[in-house]
Amino acid sequence: MFNWISSVGIGAAKVDTHLERDQYAPGDVASGEVMIIGGIGSQQFDQIELHLMLQYREEGSYKNKSYLSEVFRISGPIQIAEHEVKRIPFQLTLPETLPMSTGHFPTYIRTVLDAKFAVDPKDEDRITLLPAKLVQHILKVIEDAGFILYKIENLELIKKPKIGLPFMQVFVFRPVGSNHGVIDEYSMVFTHSATSFKMEMEILRAEQALQSTFEWDHRDPENTFRINGTSAEGNPFERLRSLLKRK
């Protein structure tokens, strides 16, 4: 059964966009349909788009900014007759590198008809983006090592990349068990693509920061493993477990 996620009047017509579900992981295929209900008189729309909207915290403030991550064009010009109902099915492949959504930094789908008609932001509806499978595995390794996830923040980058997101997603952990009182805080940022993966880590101990970077290629993690840019031996996950042990 479909979950309705958006309903907003556009002039004399009405558009309803819905997906098969409201929870996805990066790389998933999202299927659904846009239903347009004609009003009084016919209407012409140049195109129909779905916009994937992310949020992040503006540098130097506590305000969130919206970011248009992806544009999916699902229809070209379309004519809607009076009281006509048209259903337009679609399939969207979500990018592999999407950050997970959180309560403070939600993810929205926005329906756009023509360039000048867009869903009222107040009517935007959330979808839930789960962490990528590899990120989920790493988060479990950290939790098993005696840490709990304290918060996740999407922080604006001062220097914006030409390609990619204008923010970084920071995972902040607090120690429990044997690490309590030894490690104050543990932070991690993931950067990944279709071919490689990178973890930037910072461990705070008694106001001192220990920083380290792990990276590897998906095709062969052990033989492409690098620590702080230098080739390293071993399994990345075992090395991460070793790093997190109490010393």
Q: Mean pLDDT of successive 10-residue segments in the chain (247 residues)?
A: 50 80 93 87 83 92 92 90 91 93 92 59 72 93 91 92 90 83 86 90 84 93 94 91 73
Tokens 């399939």 appear where?
Answer: 91
| Contact by Cβ (8 Å): 186, 201 | yes
Distant-in-sequence, close-in-space partners of 193: CB < 8 Å, separation ≥ 6: 96, 97
Query: Per-domain residue ranges for the chain?
Result: 3-129, 133-244
Q: What fold characterizes domain 3-129?
A: Immunoglobulin-like (2.60.40)
